A and B are shown apart, each in its own frame.
Chain A
Amino acid sequence: MFIEYTWLVPLIPMLCFLIVGLLGRKTPEKGGYIAIAGALLSFIISALIAYEYLTGDAYPEPVTSQIAWFAIGDFEINLGYYVDGLTCMMMLFSSFISTLIFIYSIGYMHAEGARKTRYYAEVSLFLTGMLGLIVSSNFLEMFIFWEVMGLCSYLLIGFWSFRHNDGDAASANAASAAKKAFLVTRMGDVCLMAGLFILLGEFHSLDYTELFDPANIANADSTMITLGMLLVFGGVIGKSAQFPLHDWLPDAMAGPTTVSSLIHAATMVKAGVYLVARGYPLFIQDPEVMLFVGIIGGVTAFFAATMALNNYNIKKVLAFSTVSQLGYMILALGAGGYLVALGMDMGGAEGTALIAAGTAGFTAGCFHMMNHAFFKALLFMCSGSVIHSVGTEDMRLMGGLGKHMKITSITMLLGSLSIAGFPLFSGFWSKDLVLDIALEAGDQTIWFTVLWLLAVITAFMTAFYMFRMWFMTFMGEEGANTQHCHGESPKTMTAPLVILSVFAVLSGFLIMFGLDGMVSFEVTDTAFIVGGGHAGGMVHYFEHLFTNPYTYLTIVLALLGIGIAYLMYAKKTVDPGRFNKHGESGLYKVLANRWYFPEFYNWVSWKFGYGVAKGVNYVDRQVIDGTVNGLSAAVVGGGDTISKMQTGNVHDYTAVILLGVSVLAALFVVIAMILGGM
């Protein structure tokens, strides 16, 4: 009875967007309470839908309903909703975390005055985009909401577009950062759109029910599916900030911290991972595609983690860690999908075993996505609390904040432990599942062994840089800005932190209470089923995790990372300057300059983009405009010239008429003479 109202889930934030945008100025807190109420209502409805679906008879078959939207020839495009286990999980954590972020915004955005209306309207629209994307029943509908999020990220990253700190670099200037985010993700979106065109051409429909039907897939041209899914993955690379389109996300830190939290935890970058998970039945048609997906994910995880190692900006460290964690999710989906794809090619008992092993990758990716949403939202909101208090983002000016901000420091410690993969914290469970599946895929191809190695090193680096950040911020001597900080943040900010920290610590245990069944993936001859898998339960996972020697390897590495960070930044018995020649070593500079990716982007834009733009400009102005202008000039000039024949003088007209009549008369006479023989 609630599932029929799934369309309300994105519609309510949409209405909030309209109400706040049009009337928000007159309401208390400039529309903040309306946005919170909308997000909360969406969460409640999502929870009711999830409960009804998961306990209903249809589970795990997806529940879907559509209405016809329009038709072009024999392509029918529908609007509707599609509810399955993945939808439920995404809906729940997106709306829940967004609600908390909106509550937190009341405190964080307190000083913004009239601009708050714009802020709350835009975040409501952002949430609309994410929830709409999640419940969409076909790829076109999804793509529309995908673009809505692209727009909102542009607007919100550039929220402080009037601030020009120093120069025009995207990292210093909100307007440039917004532009960069928009343009870089646009590159991915173009790929995604091309991919959808290919799928539409192959399947004559974009409905999930049609596309995920094994019979339809078997009828379609497999090369075209491969090409189409590679292009769709291009969209994921842009949206989820994967290598090599990852560089917009660190710059996006120019927006308010709440927006960063929203982008990194509840919306936007999660959309890309969701798209891979949603399109899994098509992705797994070709092992090579999944190998590519896995390589991109593993490389991103490693690259981004290296850049976080020596950054001094508290938000940028978190941004790089997000990119790195997204890499983990993509890696898990890629490795699992690779095994499934191989198994489907192989067939037989061996193939079935591979498929069974590979589907764990789907669960791992989705599970890590949810855990990451909790602890990354928490970490960002903690960093926001710190920034709110000390008024800077530079960690060198912080330090010793632990005494002044007890709640923030403790919740952030919990978040950091979680992301570092400290045993029994949420990040530990999902990260080890990811590493496990990568290692398992390594049995089939050496590529995944390499990626597993990168991922293990990344786990070490993650622990190190997260605790470097925590120690630099909360421990050690008091920095310049700590001495006149405002102390702990108001309750509207700390309450969401406390709630989220509970989830960040405990959400990992959900997998023992059936979450793995909810986001499992099953391949049968007649369907690809999300959800409804066997819920392994506590024993299964304990057994698997704690008998695996590699689990202990990552635990040791994580503890080692934390320990080194402690020695370097809290106890200061080891001088980090010894390893990087006090910031002079080549590697240090490469990392500080983000592997020169911003320069590379600029170089490509100037050499390639600008050149193409100049050529297009020339064609537009000279060839196209020239043709049009030339034609109109010819018509106008010709008309001018010919109109001079109309002298306006009655006598001239008379003369012409008389002449004509005379000529006609003479002609008649001549004809009559010839015919009459006169």
Chain B
Amino acid sequence: MIPLEYFLILGAILFAIGAYGVATKSNAIIVLMCIELMLNAANINFVAFGAYHPDIMGQVFVIMTITVAAAEVAVGIAILLNAYKMRKTTELDEDGLTSMRW
């Protein structure tokens, strides 16, 4: 059986990649995808702990998370689409969507 640490390290790496993407990428779609990466990193941890610590709740929670994530992406993409229609850009820098602040 694969040791638990492996799953945790995989999750940590995925989370770090996601966080890095959110913090550095200027394209809003990539940022959204990075957020999905971070959510899935958390899901791996849920499933791993659920398997090693016999408890069905881990998997149940993952299904819940996936549902919420799907809804969240749908809303996020919808907002982005509208923003794109108005601004013809999905960049998050000063020339792009950031100018909509205040």
B82 CB-CB contact with A under 8 Å: no
B86 CB-CB contact with A under 8 Å: no
Cα A101 to Cα B97 with chains together (Å): 80
Sample of 12 further A-B pairs with CB below 8 A, known A646-B101, A650-B22, A650-B28: A643-B102, A647-B98, A647-B101, A648-B98, A648-B102, A649-B92, A649-B98, A651-B92, A654-B19, A654-B23, A655-B23, A658-B23
Interchain nearest-CB distance for B18 vs A (Å) = 11
Question: Closest 9 A-B residue pairs measured CB to CB?
Answer: A648-B101, A654-B23, A648-B98, A654-B22, A650-B92, A649-B98, A651-B23, A655-B23, A658-B19
Mark out the residues of chain A between 614 and 658 whose CB falls within 8 Å of any chain B CB in the assembled complex. 643, 646-651, 654-655, 658
Mark out the residues of chain A between 159 and 179 whose CB falls within 8 Å of any chain B CB in the assembled complex. none
B67 CB-CB contact with A under 8 Å: no
Mostly, the A contact residues are: helix
Cα A655 to Cα B24 with chains together (Å): 9
Cα A522 to Cα B101 with chains together (Å): 85
Interchain nearest-CB distance for A649 vs B (Å) = 5
* A–B Cβ pairs within 8 angstroms, 30 of them: A643-B102, A646-B101, A646-B102, A647-B98, A647-B101, A648-B98, A648-B99, A648-B100, A648-B101, A648-B102, A649-B92, A649-B93, A649-B94, A649-B98, A650-B22, A650-B28, A650-B31, A650-B92, A650-B98, A651-B22, A651-B23, A651-B24, A651-B26, A651-B92, A654-B19, A654-B22, A654-B23, A655-B23, A658-B19, A658-B23
Q: What is the total number of residues of chain A having a CB less than 8 Å from a CB of chain B?
A: 10
Chain B residues at the A interface, C-beta cutoff of 8 Å:
19, 22-24, 26, 28, 31, 92-94, 98-102
Q: Which B residue sits closest to A643, measured CB to CB?
A: B102
Cα A651 to Cα B31 with chains together (Å): 10
- Chain A residues near B98 (CB-CB < 8 A): 647-650
Q: Which A residue sits closest to B24, measured CB to CB?
A: A651
Q: Which A residue sits closest to B99, measured CB to CB?
A: A648
Instruction: Determine which residue in B22, B92, B94 has the highest number of CB atoms from chain A within 10 A of its CB, and name it.
Output: B22
- Chain A residues near B19 (CB-CB < 8 A): 654, 658
- Chain A residues near B93 (CB-CB < 8 A): 649
Q: Which A residue sits closest to B19, measured CB to CB?
A: A658
Cα A203 to Cα B59 with chains together (Å): 82
- Chain A residues near B92 (CB-CB < 8 A): 649-651
Cα A647 to Cα B98 with chains together (Å): 8
- Chain A residues near B26 (CB-CB < 8 A): 651
- Chain A residues near B22 (CB-CB < 8 A): 650-651, 654
Mostly, the B contact residues are: helix
Cα A655 to Cα B25 with chains together (Å): 12
Cα A443 to Cα B22 with chains together (Å): 108
Q: Which B residue sits closest to A648, measured CB to CB?
A: B101
Interchain nearest-CB distance for B45 vs A (Å) = 14
- Chain A residues near B31 (CB-CB < 8 A): 650
- Chain B residues near A658 (CB-CB < 8 A): 19, 23
Cα A416 to Cα B24 with chains together (Å): 106
Q: Which B residue sits closest to A651, measured CB to CB?
A: B23
- Chain A residues near B100 (CB-CB < 8 A): 648
Cα A655 to Cα B22 with chains together (Å): 9
Interchain nearest-CB distance for B76 vs A (Å) = 12
Cα A655 to Cα B19 with chains together (Å): 9
- Chain B residues near A649 (CB-CB < 8 A): 92-94, 98
Cα A648 to Cα B99 with chains together (Å): 8
Cα A648 to Cα B26 with chains together (Å): 13
Q: Which B residue sits closest to A661, measured CB to CB?
A: B19
- Chain B residues near A648 (CB-CB < 8 A): 98-102
Cα A245 to Cα B92 with chains together (Å): 78
Interchain nearest-CB distance for A254 vs B (Å) = 61
- Chain B residues near A646 (CB-CB < 8 A): 101-102
Interchain nearest-CB distance for A657 vs B (Å) = 9
Cα A647 to Cα B97 with chains together (Å): 12
Q: Which A residue sits closest to B100, measured CB to CB?
A: A648
- Chain A residues near B23 (CB-CB < 8 A): 651, 654-655, 658
Interchain nearest-CB distance for B101 vs A (Å) = 3
Interchain nearest-CB distance for A26 vs B (Å) = 59
Cα A646 to Cα B23 with chains together (Å): 16
Cα A559 to Cα B86 with chains together (Å): 103
Instruction: Determine which residue in A649, A650, A658 has the highest number of CB atoms from chain B within 10 A of its CB, and name it.
Output: A650
Interchain nearest-CB distance for B33 vs A (Å) = 14
Cα A374 to Cα B92 with chains together (Å): 92
Interchain nearest-CB distance for B43 vs A (Å) = 18
Interchain nearest-CB distance for A235 vs B (Å) = 60
Cα A190 to Cα B93 with chains together (Å): 68
* Interface residues as binary, A648-678 with B (CB distance below 8 Å gives 1, 0 otherwise): 1111001100100000000000000000000
Cα A649 to Cα B31 with chains together (Å): 13
Interchain nearest-CB distance for A583 vs B (Å) = 80
Interchain nearest-CB distance for A644 vs B (Å) = 9
Interchain nearest-CB distance for B50 vs A (Å) = 22
Interchain nearest-CB distance for A489 vs B (Å) = 78
- Chain B residues near A647 (CB-CB < 8 A): 98, 101
Mark out the residues of chain A between 137 and 165 whose CB falls within 8 Å of any chain B CB in the assembled complex. none
Cα A646 to Cα B94 with chains together (Å): 13
Cα A654 to Cα B22 with chains together (Å): 7
- Chain B residues near A655 (CB-CB < 8 A): 23
Cα A649 to Cα B26 with chains together (Å): 10
Interchain nearest-CB distance for A449 vs B (Å) = 87
